[in-house]
């Protein structure tokens, strides 16, 4: 997306758009500084903002979690690998079993969305291990 497209879609004046971009850059720089010391790279993530009554920019949702952001393992990256540590693991499972394709086909046809299949126990354990490990690396604290 170009800056012109973003400005048109958001209806933000250029100055507010630039302030928003700078705010996001500062958050991402701080996140990367924090997580690199724990062997992670912050790749990208979702941040939600709003303006108060005086048009002051406010961050209005969480960030820096496995649900909002993507992280890679730093050591693996330095070896030329991209080891994803986020909910992308679950997305890929649903793509592999065909659920993603069925979901989007139903949406395109205006049909009810198919029920989300439960994760099989081995996948559920992998997801749990991923989230616990990521929690420990993000916070520097033991989960249990």
The residues that bridge with 29 in the sheet, in sequence order, are: none
More confident call, 66 vs 60: 60
pLDDT given for residue 128 in this prediction: 93
* Beta strands per DSSP E along 32-127: 40-45, 49-51, 57-59, 69-73, 84-85
pLDDT, position 127: 92
Using alpha carbons only, give the angle 47, 28, 131 rounded to the nearest 5 degrees.
Answer: 70
Q: Are 40 and 72 in contact (CB under 8 A)?
A: yes
Mean pLDDT of the chain: 92
Give the model's pLDDT for residue 87: 84
Contacts of 143 (CB under 8 A, 6+ apart): 132, 135, 136
Q: Which domains does the chain have, with CATH numbers?
A: 1-85 (3.30.470.20), 87-144 (no CATH)
What pLDDT digit, counting tens, does each position of 88-135 carry? 889 999 999 999 999 999 999 999 999 999 999 999 999 999 999 999
Q: Is the pLDDT of residue 139 over 90?
A: no
Give ∠ CA 68-73-74 in degrees, rounded to 5: 120
Confidence (pLDDT) at 64:
85
β-bridge partners, 40: 73
Tokens matching residue 70 = 């993507």
Banded model confidence at residue 62, pLDDT cuts 50, 70, 90 = confident
Terminal-residue alpha carbon distance, the chain: 43
Can you give the pLDDT at residue 132? 93
**Cα of 40 vs its chain's centroid, Å:** 14
Report residue 65's pLDDT band, with 50, 70 and 90 as the boundaries. confident
């Amino acid at each position: 997306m170009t800056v012109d497209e973003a400005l048109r879609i958001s209806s933000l004046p250029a100055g507010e758009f630039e302030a928003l971009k700078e705010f996001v850059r500062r958050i991402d720089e701080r996140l990367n500084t924090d997580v690199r010391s724990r062997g992670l790279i912050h790749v990208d993530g979702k941040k939600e903002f709003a303006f108060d009554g005086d048009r002051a920019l406010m961050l209005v949702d969480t960030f820096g979690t496995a649900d909002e952001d993507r992280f890679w393992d730093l050591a693996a990256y330095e070896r030329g690998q991209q080891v994803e540590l986020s909910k992308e693991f679950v997305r890929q499972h649903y793509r592999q079993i065909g659920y993603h394709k069925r979901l989007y086909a139903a949406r395109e046809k205006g049909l009810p969305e198919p029920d989300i299949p439960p994760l099989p126990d081995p996948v559920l354990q992998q997801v749990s291990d991923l989230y616990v490990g990521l929690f420990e690396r993000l916070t520097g604290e033991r989960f249990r």
